[in-house]
Amino acid sequence: MPAEEIILDLKNLQLPDTEALKLPDVITIYESLRPIMPTPRTVMPTNLSRLVDVLPEVDALILDGYGVINVGDGPIPGIEELFEQAARRHVPIIVLTNGASFGAEMAWQKYQKWGLPIARNHVVSSRDALEVALENRAAEIVYGSLSGTSQPLGYGSELHYGKDADLFERADEFVFLGTIDWHNDDQDRLEAAMRHRKRRLHVANPDVVSPQANGFAVEPGYWALRAMKHADAPVSWYGKPHAAAFEMAFARLEAVTGQRFEKSRVAMVGDSLHTDIIGGSAFGLRSVLLTDYGLFRDGGARQMIDACGIYPDWIVDRL
């Protein structure tokens, strides 16, 4: 059954305020979304100290951005060595990020600024998957983009939050790209508009939070779930863990290398059980949970793996 058709029971879900979110809360929110997530394989994880130790076991890597390449606005020490070792072994790398405020181009420019050897066509974002899905209907649908600071989709009839005062009245459907400037009062307006006239909410970034230098930043997945709970909002999801993003990244891998790959010889590397590991595993890839930099940097990875029943092929401490 498509995720859009599955009804979630959110009545008893307690949603802490954004300022009070802790790791157990994040996991609880993700677990409430499990019915609409794909089903991962069941494996027995292998523990390794470093990600470079996985390289002999794979023919290609797909890396998450936040929590693997960078935390906040800076690269993680050791990422340069990973790219060097992968190149030495002829293991190509594709980046698949759920960051959707500015798309893959902005992510690539960031990596270039840091001196990372990543080509533009090796970066895929969840926004890419959303744009492919929405563009065929752009002439007939008025989309309301819910972030005034995100890069516009570029559709002629698109409305922008913070610029078009009548967005909530005129939009046929809403699009969540990013949450840089999104707060409780903004969410209250969205939910009130949804209760007045129910419309679909398209979510480019299903992440609940992203790792930052001093904690977590709340992402569209949190706000989308709140709209589902408080306004019965119908939601369509496009990033990890859902298949469209992985299909796009895997196709890009084969296109840029001119090679065919067995999925079982490609590993998805990320810091999140519920986006990177579930999504990669369900798509048929092997999966690597990197623990020292992102969601589990303060510990708790093994306990959450067992509690959630989401098992990566490898559990790796650091790059």
Mean pLDDT of the chain: 93
Q: How far apart are the first and last CA of the chain?
A: 38
Pairing of the two strands 143-145 and 173-176: parallel
Under CATH, which number does the domain 46-98+242-318 receive?
3.40.50.1000
Q: What is the pLDDT of residue 214?
A: 78
Residue 120's pLDDT band (boundaries 50, 70, 90)? very high
CA-CA distances (angstroms) from residue 111 to 85, 106, 319? Answer: 18, 9, 17
Q: How many other C-beta atoms can be found within 10 angstroms of the C-beta atom of residue 60?
A: 22
pLDDT at site 1: 45
Write the pLDDT tens digit of every residue in 80-104: 999 999 999 999 999 999 988 888 9
The answer, yes or no, to whether the previous bond of 241 is cis (omega within 30 of 0) is: yes
CA angle 17, 20, 26 (to 5 degrees): 85
Long-range contacts of 135-142 (CB under 8 A, 24+ apart): 141/172, 141/173, 142/170, 142/171, 142/172, 142/173
In tens, the pLDDT along 20-35 reads: 889 999 999 999 999 9
- Give the span between the Cα atoms of 150 and 78, in whole angstroms: 30
Which residues of the chain form CATH 3.40.50.1000?
46-98+242-318, 137-238
Pairwise pLDDT comparison (318 vs 217), residue with the higher score: 318
Confidence label for 256 from pLDDT (cuts 50, 70 and 90): very high
Which pLDDT score, from 0 to 100, does residue 180 have?
85
In this structure, whether the domain defined by 137-238 belongs to CATH 3.40.50.1000 is answered with yes
Distance CA 300, CA 286 (A): 22
In this predicted structure, what is the pLDDT of residue 6? 59
Q: Is the pLDDT of residue 11 over 50?
A: yes
Q: What is the pLDDT of residues 145-202, one digit of tens each?
A: 998 788 889 998 999 998 999 999 999 999 999 888 899 999 999 999 999 999 999 9
Q: Which residues pair with 287 in a beta bridge?
A: 268
Phi/psi at 275 (5° precision): -115, -60
Residue 7 DSSP class: P
